[in-house]
Homo-oligomer: A and B are copies of this chain.
């Protein structure tokens, strides 16, 4: 009897990469920019999306797939403004592409210009999973402290933009915008920065203009 070793891990990873690339391509062809939002719990991803929806109302279309371990509270906050589906992982620390695909089918919207995937609040695990997004954006809130880029490097290294939220709290907590920016750009020199106070609709115009530009570039590239 002879034995052969079959390396499964490589095939599985290759298949996952290909599926993500295909999903990315499909959304690009239909003109939908897919944005994967990463952050700690409570940094304000849902508030940022609410402010984004208010800013675009009547001008641009968006939908949200929102991931959580338990509860559908975030989807409840979003559905008065935009189509949203809650993805509940039941314990898992990050979203995966299969969940995103099921969520997209459940959304059942014919076409949207922007599809946001609000990941589980976690600065570690989601950084290792490609959801077929065109843009990965990290949200860091001021009260979390300016040392987060250095302490959670992978999430920052794999992102294209950084939203610094809750800037209205700058007078009350120790946080240096300069320190956070320098640390983040040491890790990812091309990182675009957007200071905002989502609850107060501050800084949202620049953030939305950036997303609009990214979608234009996507459409030109197809």
Is A71 a contact partner of B151 (Cβ separation < 8 A)? yes
**8 A Cβ contacts from A111-152 to B:** 120-125, 141, 143-145, 147-148, 150-152
Q: Which of A53-61, A168-176, A214-222 forms part of the interface with chain B? A: A168-176
Shortest CB distance A158–B (Å): 12
Number of this chain's copies in the assembly equals 2
Complex CA–CA separation, A42 to B73 (angstroms): 23
Interface range for A: 35 or more
A31 to chain B, nearest CB (A): 33
Is A189 an interface position by the 8 A CB rule? no
Q: Are B73 and A152 in contact (CB under 8 A)?
A: no
Besides A40-B41, A42-B143, A70-B151, 18 new A-B residue pairs in contact (Cβ under 8 A), listed by A number: A40-B42, A40-B121, A41-B144, A41-B148, A41-B152, A69-B151, A69-B153, A70-B152, A71-B151, A73-B147, A93-B124, A93-B125, A120-B124, A121-B152, A141-B143, A143-B166, A168-B172, A169-B173
Does B152 contact A69, Cβ atoms closer than 8 Å?
A: yes
Evaluate whether A42 and B148 lie within 8 angstroms (CB atoms) in the complex, with A69-B153, A166-B143 already known.
yes
Instruction: Report how far A79 CA is from B14 CA in the complex, Å.
Output: 45
| Complex CA distance for A41 and B42, rounded to whole angstroms | 10
